[in-house]
A and B are shown apart, each in its own frame.
Chain A
Amino acid sequence: MWESVKEFASEFFVTGDPLIYGADVSIVLSIIAIVSVLTYFKKWGWLWREWLTTVDHKKIGIMYILASVLMLFRGGVDALLMRAQLAMPDMQFLSGDHYNQIFTTHGVIMILFMAMPLMFGLFNVIVPLQLGARDVAFPFLNALSFWLFFSGAMLFNLSFVIGGSPDAGWLAYPPYSELAFNPGPGQDFYIWGIQISGIGSLMTGINFIVTILKVRAPGMTLMKMPMFSWSVLSSCIAIVFAFPILTVTLALLFIDRYLGGHFFTLDGGGNPMMYINLIWMWGHPEVYIIVLPAFGIFSEIVATFSRKKLFGYKSMVFAMIIISVLSFLVWAHHFFTMGSGADVNAFFAVTTMLIAIPTGVKVFNWLFTMFRGKITFETPMLWTVGIIPNFVIGGMTGVLLSVAPADFQYHNSYFLVAHFHQVIIAGVVFGFFAGLYYWWPKIFGFKLNERIGRWAFWLWNIGFYLCFMPQYALGLMGMTRRLYSYGWDKGWFEMNLVSTIGAVIMGVAFLVQIWDIAHSLKNMKRDTTGDPWNARTLEWSIPSPAPFYNFAVMPQVTSQDDWHERKLRIEQGLEKPAKVELEPIHMPKNSGIPIVMSMFWFFVGFGLIFDWLWMAVPGFIGVLACMVVHSFNYDTDYYVTVEEIKRTEAEAGRVIT
């Protein structure tokens, strides 16, 4: 009996690596710490009522952001481990197998469990406020999306200590990801972690399309909508078209692995290239899904800090919609070397180059917005100005890669690694950072410290260039990606060392940001205006942080940048602050079903990963039961009374007569 328990444990838990034992201990300690703090301060009820069951888009957004920062930490540690291994030739820090696992989890975590939730966090907190809405169209579904993401992320991260991490790269190309070559549970962790959170992403896409198209404030026509909301719409359209492909692709891979199918196997007539086509039909739009909202963020910030209307609003809108359509027509540029022939490659090369046009339009629009503006360089604007040249370099190396004949040279080299990190870090991550600094006072009610913020900005940027510029050269010198060791004879030592130093500087920059948050929390000055940047869109017309019902009175929109125009009119005495008539507000009730249902999904995933049907089947029954319970529940909303609105507004420093 004892022997069989020991045998099970040695296979179930990842053993043999001191780094992992250290992680085991720290995980157990932090769980004990969290549980005892919550118990000691009797906060379980509060946690359940205020956070775990909430359907409030602002709180869900904060949970997304919190989770994504944790994932940024985990993905960043992965990156530093890799850079440590590559710092010098013939390094013995990580084994080849371990290195494979780390670059796989780094990629998956950074794209799917860091960039996506950070983006969804900003969607959630900001979009309803910008639209003048009380919440998203479907608050319950929104909570479910979050908890599905959370379950998927937990499942994926569990592979680190239980069962073993996936090691087939962030897109898990077969045949290596097939059972014959990859028999452990790691690959199944990959499939179910992404599958479960992917369903959540798909639902978020539907939710925000409906919100943006149907739940805007009266008077806000589509062409008067703030640019960030437009970018969210274009991103969500791409989500809705792309994510079903991911769902199917992962399901097919699972059928191969679990039921012995032959979709992508080498025997039985399978076709591995089919997987690579399918996964990139999702994967390429995915890149645009995460970068489009960043474009929206830049547009908001540039207009606010240049004290000017956004230049070329219409061309901006068209550019974003064109990008989200074109993003579906370029997938084969990820494998020009597959051998599909000159005609196919030429088509995909041209569509790829075409994307540079709308992107260029956007860059010029930002520049023209700044032109003759009264620019001030608070942190959000600093990030935006820093991003423009950075992203342009990334974009131009992308155009170099799109030249199909030349790509045979660049393919899978460090040139490519440098390129996609430059567009994703400089475009997406820095873009979301800019958004976080910009909306931080709206979300939490106080500004982040400017001085420490500047330190973080410069460290991030210097670290970035130090880390990735040498990698372009290394790629041209023949260094291929996913390489875990190289010899002294290659001549790659110096540049790899510089690159590692850059990575360490970015790690320090992250710590500086955490310090910035801690410092600002301690020394915060409450923002009483609700509009600390003197900004232009509706979210700044209400107190910070926004009351749970967002708008005490529905705003009546008459123009683009409506809040800015209203401030002007009030200043010129053309409009008096109107006497308002409060009405009871219709709000959704909290629900525990999303978190419970997502926990059941977790059991489904975990059970299938280890082929434990005794866990997967009850899990699935639990999922169905949650759906049925929700379907039978007709008591889902309530009204906030006028007295409560008055009280809440007064607490936020606004008197309503």
Chain B
Amino acid sequence: MANVNAGHHDHHPDQEELRTFAFWIYLMTDVILFATLFATYIVLQGNTDGGPGPKDLFQMNGIYASTFILLTSSFTSGLAILAMNKGNRLALMNWLGVTVFLGASFLFLEINEFMHLVSEGATISTSAFWTAFYTLVGTHGLHVALGLGWMIILIMQIAKRGITPVTKRKVNIISLFWHFLDVVWIFVFTIVYVMGVN
């Protein structure tokens, strides 16, 4: 029984390819998860129970800023992939670092927004509308937070092991995840914020 690293020729299908495929299926389940949250949000949208609604409290300037930041982070994660495909380890780590920084800024703005809303008297238990709002937007935020932790761990692994088939697959997957969160945010931005204030 000898230990081996990946890359040995075998009858097995390529493990890294399998993992990428499985991640696509996982993303599909995440689509269903967000779809359910969106459906709930849309059903409960008007149920403000006489309390404040979206028009009263949303501050769109902050939302434009955080949208811009998240979209940019998607772009920088794309640049990280390009750097990886060129075999440039340092640039890969740097672009991932920039992505982490932008993602953290997005989260910072989101937490700020939530604190502002709570100070205005719109908490999760104010009405069905606000429960649905915090849950939907917060679930997206939670995904972003997990993505950040994951990316930091990956940067450490790349520093230790360089660009191997395994780390390459891992970076590809996190970038898929990151783009996915971006797409979800576009729906949040449109359905929750833009349609909410208009």
Contact = CB atoms under 8 A, between A and B. Distances in A.
B138 to A, nearest CB: 10
Contacts of A631: 153, 157
Interface in B1-36: 1-5, 8, 10-13, 17-19, 21-22, 25-26, 28-30, 32-33, 36
Interface stretch (A73-81, A202-210, A388-396): A202-210
Contacts of B10: 586
Interface in B25-70: 25-26, 28-30, 32-33, 36-37, 40, 43-44, 47-49
Given A241-B32, A263-B40, A638 B132 contact: no
Contact of A249 (B1, B8, B36): B36
A641 B1 CA distance: 6
A638 B33 contact: no
A241 B25 CA distance: 10
Interface residues of A, number: 53
Contacts of B18: 137-138, 210, 214-215
Given A268-B49, A641-B1, A202 B29 contact: yes
Contacts of B12: 134, 215, 586
Contacts of B13: 214-215
Contact of A639 (B1, B28, B40, B48): B1
Interface string A236-271: 000011011101110110011001111101011111
A249 B197 CA distance: 27
A271 B128 contact: yes
Interface residues of B, number: 44
B100 to A, nearest CB: 16
Given A256-B131, A638-B2, A244 B22 contact: no
A206 to B, nearest CB: 5
Interface in A212-254: 213-215, 218, 240-241, 243-245, 247-249, 251-252
A420 B18 CA distance: 38
Interface string A553-578: 01000000000000000000000000
A262 B153 contact: no
A635 interface: yes
A637 B8 CA distance: 11
Contacts of B44: 263, 269-271, 274
A367 B135 CA distance: 51
A635 B127 contact: no
A260 B13 CA distance: 49
B119 interface: no
Interface in B110-128: 124-128
Given A210-B25, A634-B166, A248 B128 contact: no
Contact of A269 (B1, B19, B129, B149): B129
A210 B132 CA distance: 34
A67 to B, nearest CB: 24
B32 A262 contact: no
B2 A269 contact: no
The 8 nearest A-B residue pairs measured at CB:
A269-B47, A260-B125, A269-B128, A261-B131, A269-B49, A244-B32, A244-B33, A262-B128
9 contacts: A215-B12, A240-B25, A248-B37, A259-B124, A268-B47, A268-B49, A586-B12, A639-B2, A640-B1
